């Protein structure tokens, strides 16, 4: 699949200009590489199909919780063909603890049906096709494309990426979609996939939503967030 032509970066918002200096961005990326050199996707999976389902289940739920339910789910329904034929109550019972289980069961069954009926049983490899799958919005599509197919068509902006990108003043807008656009403008495309994984790990281990552990953060000297709990 062709990688889309890179757009010319637009001029960043006035309030971010100083913080988006190439040297500063490079220093942040270096710091993330040092802290999280070998990051991988935290959702356990053995195939694009399993990652797609796990990502749908991860909405409003922790990856740890998703990883607790998917082994049994995939044992019972290992393929899109089998999941398409599952009963909704069976699916709901298996994924109940991930929350919103009525909707999620419908989504993963709908995803299975779509993949069987329109994509020959294989998870498609383009953003345009992936976002037609029930339950798979742009974020889910970006996760699958980046992790399984090495395609960087966007930056995955989950709750951790959204929060930390703003704390580090790499973005300032107020929706994940807008923050993704800001990050795509300032980050080299070959960093889009790793950057998301690194920020997700940073959010879990250090830059907590309620109480960031700034004294342990190797980006502390580059961060001027008002949420900081410690300053050198």
Give the footprint of ligand SF4 on this chain (CB under 6 A): 164, 167-168, 206-207, 212-214, 217, 219-220, 223, 225, 227-228
Cβ 125 to ligand SF4 shortest distance, Å: 34
Q: Count how many residues are written for the chain.
A: 232
Measured distance CA(36)–CA(206) in Å, rounded = 12
Q: What does the alpha-carbon distance between residue 77 and residue 74 come to, in Å, rounded to a whole number? A: 5
Tell the smallest beta-carbon distance from residue 39 to ligand SF4 (Å). 16
- For 180, other C-beta atoms within 10 Å of its C-beta total 24
Nearer to ligand SF4, 158 or 220 (CB): 220
Active-site residue list: 139, 158
Residue among 57, 77, 75, 59 nearest 67 (CA): 57
Nearer to ligand SF4, 67 or 218 (CB): 218
79 close to 120: Cβ distance less than 8 angstroms: no
Smallest CA-to-CA distance from 186 within 30, 16, 4, 14 is with 16
Between 167 and 201, name the residue whose CB sits nearer to ligand SF4: 167
- Of the pair 114, 163, the CB lying nearest ligand SF4 is at 163
Q: Is the CB of residue 155 less than 8 Å from the CB of residue 196?
A: yes
Please give the Cα distance from 7 to 91 (Å, whole number): 42
């Amino acid at each position: 699949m062709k990688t889309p032509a890179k757009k010319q970066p637009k001029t960043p918002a006035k309030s971010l200009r100083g913080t988006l200096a190439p040297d500063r961005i490079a220093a942040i990326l270096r710091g993330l590489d040092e802290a999280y050199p070998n990051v991988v996707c935290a959702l356990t999976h053995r195939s694009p199909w399993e990652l797609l389902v796990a990502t749908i289940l991860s909405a409003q739920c922790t990856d740890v919780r998703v990883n607790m339910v998917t082994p049994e789910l995939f044992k019972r329904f290992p393929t899109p063909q089998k999941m398409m034929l599952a009963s909704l109550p069976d699916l709901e019972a298996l994924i109940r603890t991930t929350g919103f289980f009525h909707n999620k069961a419908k989504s993963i069954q709908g995803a299975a049906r779509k993949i069987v009926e329109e994509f020959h049983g294989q998870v498609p490899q383009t953003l345009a096709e992936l976002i037609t799958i029930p339950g798979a919005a742009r974020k889910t599509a970006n996760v699958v494309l980046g992790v399984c197919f090495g395609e960087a068509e966007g930056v995955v902006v989950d709750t951790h990426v959204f929060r930390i990108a703003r704390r580090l003043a790499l973005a300032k807008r107020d929706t994940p979609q807008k923050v993704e656009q800001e990050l795509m403008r300032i980050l080299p495309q070959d960093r889009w996939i790793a950057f998301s994984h690194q920020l997700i790990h940073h959010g879990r281990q250090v830059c907590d939503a309620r109480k960031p552990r700034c004294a342990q953060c190797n980006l502390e000297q580059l961060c001027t967030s008002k949420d900081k709990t410690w300053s050198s």
